Structure 1
Amino acid sequence: MTPRATTRRGRRRLLSGEERALWAHVVREVKPLRPQPPTGDPAEGVAPPVDGTPAPRPTSPPTMSLPTMTAKPAPAVPPSPPPLAPLEHKARRRLSRGAEVDARIDLHGLTQTAAHRRLRLFLVEAQALGHGVVLVITGKGDPDRLGGLFGEGRGVLRRAVPLWLAEPEMRSVVVGFEAAGRRHGGEGALYVRIRRRRDRGMD
């Protein structure tokens, strides 16, 4: 493009040879105020190399994989002991008519520790012998009167024996219990139904 000069009247005229030479010299000496940005990928911020080969893309840092947490299995819940069952109606009727129990134990005069141990051994042996109903004599006692060994109140065994028979670890031997009839001591004794070995856990 040939540069042109403008006159006072607004008309354009062609530059003379001397003016064109001076204009070319000025253009060569002028430097741009801001350098031209490299013709690379602005999104990557990397200019292509001079030889024309594509510039390598920056690699992303390696991702750290967290260790997988395996859920621990819930602890096995032990089965609950079978509930206590009352004496069978037929067995209760036979006992009320005078039928004898398979075995009996008298805990009179024993401390709680000795009575508890004797009772457990008696019931385990009764189960081994195949007994169905046994009699446990505790005595009626008198809660308001002190006596017995080590200052234990009378009637302690009457209150403690039902608690021992209802213990979960005794359910493998004891099916149930209830107060005895008058012929066998009434409130001072208990009928205890023994669990048979072959149907343990089914009653």
Structure 2
Amino acid sequence: MKRRKLRPDEEELWRKVVSGADRLHPEKPLDPQDLVATSPSLQAPRKKATFHTLPKSVSQPASRPSSTADMLPAIADQIRGQALKMDSKAFGQMTRGKLRPEGKIDLHGMTLDRAHPALTRFVLGAQAQGKRLILVVTGKGKQRDDGGPIPVRFGVLRHQVPQWLSLPPLSSAVLQVTQAHLRHGGGGAYYVYLRRTR
């Protein structure tokens, strides 16, 4: 795109602006080239950009992506990546929704402060009663942004419950956690398979 030359009235206005402006860095000596560059009509013609090819080792993409920009994987992927600690046949039946939960707690709509103690009581109580499979309903979370400056994770309970289950005192009672089958709540619920009490 070719630049047009300034009209005389535009050039006069530009000179007034330049004469009334203070230098950004007055301590630096003034370069005569800077004076020429202050007026758009007096600018030196631009050189055409030249591109050089980079050596092959620099131009090839990195072998693995930088870890600084990695995002946390989805909660379903985190749970799916856990090692299998229970019988594989029972696990298959559980994930297909063939096993019926022996107890259920609905945390949907609770705050974190209310949900954590309620979950702890329920899980430890269910284990004391000899139950093996329980269902923890968290809900999927609201898909709306409150417009605040800090981004809010959707489905706070859905993300927090697996962490609570992996920490003491619940970690000693829990054998396996996985996302529930659609008939039991799908992405808004978890199957929690408990250890036998000894």
**TM-score in terms of structure 1 length:** 0.49
Q: Comparing both structures, which one devotes a greater share of its residues to helix?
A: 2
